[in-house]
Amino acid sequence: MVDLNAMSDRSIARPLDGNGAVSEPGVPTEFLPPAAPAAKTVAGYAVHLFTALGIVPVFLAMAEVCSPVPEPRLVFLYLAIQVLIDAFDGPLARAVHIKHSAPRIDGRTIDDLVDYLSYTFVPLMLVWRMGWVPQPGAAWVVPAMVASLFGFANKGAKDEHAGFFLGFPSYWNVVAFYAGLWHAAAGPWPGAVVIVALTILTVLPVRFIYPNLAPRPWKWPIMIGAFAWAALLVWMTLDYPRVDPRIVTASLAYPAFYVAVSIWAGARRT
């Protein structure tokens, strides 16, 4: 005689145990992924926590924007710390196979939330707060914020396999940095024009290279150039925003190179 109770015990998965074994009551075990070892589970959730801690420098940056006399250099310092976290959390997540080791948390959601605040909301709030665009400042920064929301919500915005972003990848922290320089040298209109142009590019199907995953043979030139350019920006903050115009012009060589390579490589991709 067949013991139906025994068959049920063998074929029905139990709820989560302390080691993170997955299941909903009533789901056959043969359809369930194997539980990750405890050490891998801890590593996976540690990476999620590392990504989430990016909100700390974002908070500090926003607090500085809201201070009675904001110091833009401090804001950019805090945002740079978040950029470093963002640069390392992806490789760490891939190293620990995070979708299997910590499947309950969607790291992409955490990453997108923190990235939107650090790459879009806080930098554009700084532009608005400092008056680096013509008044009313909200008329320039709010459309950029809305466009970036569509960019982050676009399921095809990141083509990681090919190494491209679709649309301007919301590097508004960089735009804000240059908006302060342009305002000091020529007033609010240069920054406004650039913001409008990039707002439009954010929602257009234009490919920009994903630096960490750039297609060959451009990955190393893009990455090495980015490090050299970042070092130059750090040096420029010493006199920010009253930086020698010749240095400002020279610093734009890398963004021009990045855009040119993106257009060329993107055209070949299509």
Q: Per-residue pLDDT tens for 222-269?
A: 889 999 999 999 999 999 999 999 999 999 999 999 998 888 877 776
Q: Which of 227, 218, 226, 127 is nearest to 181 (CA)?
A: 127
At 190 the pLDDT is 96
**Whether the Cβ atoms of residue 226 and residue 254 lie closer than 8 Å to each other:** yes
Give the Cα separation of 216 and 170 in Å (integer).
23
**Whether the Cβ atoms of residue 210 and residue 170 lie closer than 8 Å to each other:** no
pTM: 0.80
At 75 the pLDDT is 97
Q: Is 237 exposed, middle or buried (0-12, 13-18, 19+ CB in 10 A)?
A: middle
Q: What letter does residue 243 receive in the DSSP assignment?
A: -
In sign, the C-alpha dihedral spanning 115, 127, 58, 50 is positive
Mean of pLDDT values over 65-94: 93
pLDDT in tens, 7-33: 334 333 344 444 444 444 554 544 445
Give the Cα separation of 85 and 80 in Å (integer).
9
User: Would you place residue 44 in the very low, low, confident or very high pLDDT band (cuts 50, 70, 90)?
Assistant: confident
Q: What DSSP line would sit under 121-179, residue for residue?
A: IHHHHHHHHHT-SSSSTHHHHHHHHHHHHHHHH-TTSEETTTTEEES----HHHHHHHH
Mean of pLDDT values over 184-210: 93
Q: Provide CB contacts within 8 A for 47, sequence distance 6+.
A: 89, 92, 93, 96, 98, 102, 107
